[in-house]
Amino acid sequence: MSTDRSAWAGMVPVDDTALYVTDTGGPGRPVVYLNGAYADQSHWKRVIADLGSGFRHIAYDERARGRSKRSADYSFEGSIRGLDAVLRARGVDRPLLVGWSYGGILAWHWADRHPDRVQAAVIVDAFPVGVTGAAGQEQIRKLFRRMRFFFPVAARLGLAARMTAAQHADVNIELNEIAAASVPVLERLTCPVRFVLATGDSLGSKGGEMDQGRATLEPVLARNPNLTVSARVASNHSKILRHDSPAVARTVREVAAEVSL
Strand ranges, E, within 41-102: 55-60, 96-100
- Per the document, the length of the chain is 261
Decide: 59 and 48 in contact? Cβ < 8 Å.
Answer: yes
Instruction: Identify the pLDDT of residue 204.
Output: 64
Q: Checking DSSP bridges between strand 17-23 and strand 8-14, what pairing results, if any? A: antiparallel
DSSP at 127: -
Alpha-carbon distance of 68 to 16, in angstroms, equals 12
Instruction: Identify the pLDDT of residue 202.
Output: 77
Instruction: Identify the pLDDT of residue 2.
Output: 41
Each residue's pLDDT, cut to its tens digit, for the chain (261 residues) gives 445 578 999 999 999 999 999 999 999 999 999 999 999 999 999 999 999 999 999 999 999 999 999 999 999 999 999 999 999 999 999 999 999 999 999 999 999 999 999 999 999 999 999 989 999 999 999 999 999 999 999 999 888 999 999 999 999 999 999 999 999 999 999 999 999 999 988 766 777 889 999 999 999 999 999 999 999 999 999 999 999 999 999 999 999 999 977
Alpha-carbon distance of 44 to 38, in angstroms, equals 14
Instruction: Identify the pLDDT of residue 1.
Output: 41
Of the candidates 7, 35, 2, 21, the one whose C-alpha atom is nearest the C-alpha of residue 86 is 21
Instruction: Identify the pLDDT of residue 218.
Output: 97
What superfamily in CATH does domain 8-258 come from? Alpha/Beta hydrolase fold, catalytic domain (3.40.50.1820)
> Strand, helix or coil at 228?
strand
DSSP at 256: H
Other beta carbons less than 10 A from residue 174's beta carbon: 16
Decide: 130 and 64 in contact? Cβ < 8 Å.
Answer: no
- 29 bridge partner residues: 55
Instruction: Count how many Cα atoms sit within 13 Å of the Cα of residue 48 in the half-sphere of its side chain.
Output: 19
Other beta carbons less than 10 A from residue 117's beta carbon: 14
Q: What is the pTM of this model?
A: 0.96
Instruction: Identify the pLDDT of residue 207.
Output: 73
Instruction: Write the Ramachandran bin of 128: left for phi over 0, alpha for psi from -120 to 50, otherwise beta.
Output: beta
